Amino acid sequence: MLLLRLLVLGAAAALGTIMVTAIRALPAGASELPARLQAALPASGVSHPVTAVLLNFRGYDTLLEVAVLLLAVLGVQGGRQRNRGAATGPIAPQPALQALARLLVPPMIMVAGYLLWAGAHAPGGAFQAAAVLGGAAVLLRMAGSIGNWNAPQSALRAALVAGLLVFLAVAAAGLSSGSLLRYPSGLAALLILLVEASLTVSLGLMLAGLFLWQPDAPGGGRQ
Amino acid sequence: MNIMFDLLLVAALLLSAVRALTVREPFRAVVLFIIFGVLMALAWARLDAPDIALAEAAIGAGLTGALLLDTLGHLNAVARGERR
What is the reported pLDDT for A86? 60
Measured distance between the N- and C-terminal CA atoms of chain B, rounded to whole angstroms: 55
- Residue with the larger pLDDT of the pair A220 and A218: A218
Mean pLDDT estimate for chain A: 86
Q: Do B54 and A134 touch (CB under 8 A)?
A: no
Chain A's closest residue to B69, CA to CA, is A211
Q: Give residue-wise pLDDT tens across range A52-91.
A: 888 888 888 999 999 999 999 999 888 887 776 665 666 7
Q: Do A125 and B78 touch (CB under 8 A)?
A: no
What is the reported pLDDT for B83? 53
| Percent above pLDDT 70 for chain A | 93
Residue A221 pLDDT level (bands cut at 50, 70, 90): very low
pLDDT exceeds 90 at position B30: yes
Measured distance between the N- and C-terminal CA atoms of chain A, rounded to whole angstroms: 40
Distance from CA of A40 to the nearest CA of B (A): 21
Chain B's closest residue to A210, CA to CA, is B67
Distance from CA of A39 to the nearest CA of B (A): 21
List of chain B residues whose C-beta atoms are within 8 Å of the C-beta of residue A127: 55
Q: Buried b vs exposed e over A170-188: b needs ≥16 C-beta within 10 Å?
A: bbebbeeeeeebbbeeeeb
Question: Given B51, B70, B83, which is nearest A125 (Cβ)?
Answer: B51
- Residue with the larger pLDDT of the pair A157 and B77: A157
Partners of residue A213 on adjacent β-strands: A149
Positive or negative torsion for Cα A112, A113, A114, A116: positive
List of chain B residues whose C-beta atoms are within 8 Å of the C-beta of residue A5: 22
Q: Give residue-wise pLDDT tens across range A3-59.
A: 988 898 899 889 999 999 998 888 877 778 888 888 888 888 888 888 888 888 888
Question: Given B18, B51, B78, which is nearest A128 (Cβ)?
Answer: B51
What is the reported pLDDT for A223? 35
- Grouping H, G, I as helix, E, B as strand and the rest as coil, residue B59 is helix
Residue A222 pLDDT level (bands cut at 50, 70, 90): very low
Question: Given B50, B70, B84, which is nearest A85 (Cβ)?
Answer: B84
| Chains A–B, number of C-beta pairs less than 8 Å apart | 53
pTM of the model: 0.84
Residue A112 pLDDT level (bands cut at 50, 70, 90): very high
